[in-house]
Structure 1
Amino acid sequence: MSGSNVNLPPGFRFYPTEEELVVHFLHRKATLLPCHPDVIPDLDLYAYDPWQLDGKALAEGKQWYFYSRRTQNRITENGYWKAIGFEEPVLTNTNIRVGMKKYLGFYVGEAPAGMKTSWIMEEYRLLSSDSCSSSMRRSSKTKTHPKIDHSKWVICKVYERSSDEDGDGAELSCLDEVFLSLDDLDEISLPN
Structure 2
Amino acid sequence: MEELKRRLPPGVIFDPSKEQIFRYLRNKVYKTQEPHANPELIKELDLYRCCPSDHQGLSKAEDTYFFTQRVAKYQSSRLSDRTTKDGKGYWRRMNKSQNFKMGIRNTLVYHLKGGNIKGIGLKTGWIMQEYELKPADAKAKVNKTTVLCRIHHKKGKQEREETDMCNVREQVPDDSTKDGSDGDRNREYLMMNKSGNEYQLKNIAARA
Q: TM-score range by the shorter chain?
A: 0.5 to 0.7
Deviation for aligned residue 1:36:
2.8
* Conserved? CA contact 2:61–2:153, under 8 Å: no
* Conserved? CA contact 1:53–1:64, under 8 Å: no
Higher relative contact order (CA 8 A, sep 6+): 1
Number of residue pairs the alignment of both structures matches: 151
* Conserved? CA contact 1:13–1:60, under 8 Å: no
Among candidates 49, 52, 72, match of residue 51 of structure 2: 49
Is the aligned partner of 1:75 residue 2:77? no
Deviation for aligned residue 1:161:
2.3
Query: Hey, which of these two has a bigger chunk of helix by percent?
Result: 1
CA distance in structure 2 between the aligned counterparts of 1:42 and 1:113, rounded to whole angstroms? 29
Is the aligned partner of 1:157 residue 2:150? yes
- Structure with greater Cα Rg: 2
* Conserved? CA contact 2:67–2:146, under 8 Å: yes
1:131-142 equivalences in 2 (<5 Å): none
Alignment CA distance shift 1:33-1:60 (3 Å):
farther
Deviation for aligned residue 1:179:
5.7
What SS does the aligned partner of 1:120 have?
A: strand
The amino acid of 2:50's aligned partner reads: Y
Alignment CA distance shift 1:115-1:100 (3 Å):
same
The amino acid of 1:69's aligned partner reads: Q
* Residue equivalent to 2:14: 14
* Residue equivalent to 1:117: 124
The amino acid of 1:152's aligned partner reads: T
TM-score between the two structures when normalised by the length of structure 2: 0.60
CA distance in structure 1 between the aligned counterparts of 2:4 and 2:39, rounded to whole angstroms? 11
* Residue equivalent to 1:105: 109
Among candidates 88, 93, 107, match of residue 98 of structure 2: 88
CA distance in structure 2 between the aligned counterparts of 1:16 and 1:98, rounded to whole angstroms? 15
Structure 2, unpaired ranges of 5+:
72-79, 166-191, 198-208
Q: What percent identity do the matched residue pairs reach?
A: 26
CA distance in structure 2 between the aligned counterparts of 1:21 and 1:4, rounded to whole angstroms? 15
CA distance in structure 1 between the aligned counterparts of 2:12 and 2:5, rounded to whole angstroms? 14
Deviation for aligned residue 1:175:
2.9
CA distance in structure 2 between the aligned counterparts of 1:172 and 1:60, rounded to whole angstroms? 15
What SS does the aligned partner of 1:103 have?
A: strand
Deviation for aligned residue 1:38:
2.1
Deviations 1:69-101 (A, max 9, x none): 1221222222111111100123xxxxxx11110
The amino acid of 2:154's aligned partner reads: R
* Residue equivalent to 1:175: 160
* Residue equivalent to 1:31: 30
Among candidates 134, 151, 164, match of residue 127 of structure 1: 134
* Conserved? CA contact 2:129–2:151, under 8 Å: yes
* Conserved? CA contact 2:60–2:153, under 8 Å: no
TM-score between the two structures when normalised by the length of structure 1: 0.64
Structure 1, unpaired ranges of 5+:
91-96, 132-148, 163-170
The amino acid of 2:81's aligned partner reads: N
Alignment CA distance shift 1:37-1:178 (3 Å):
closer
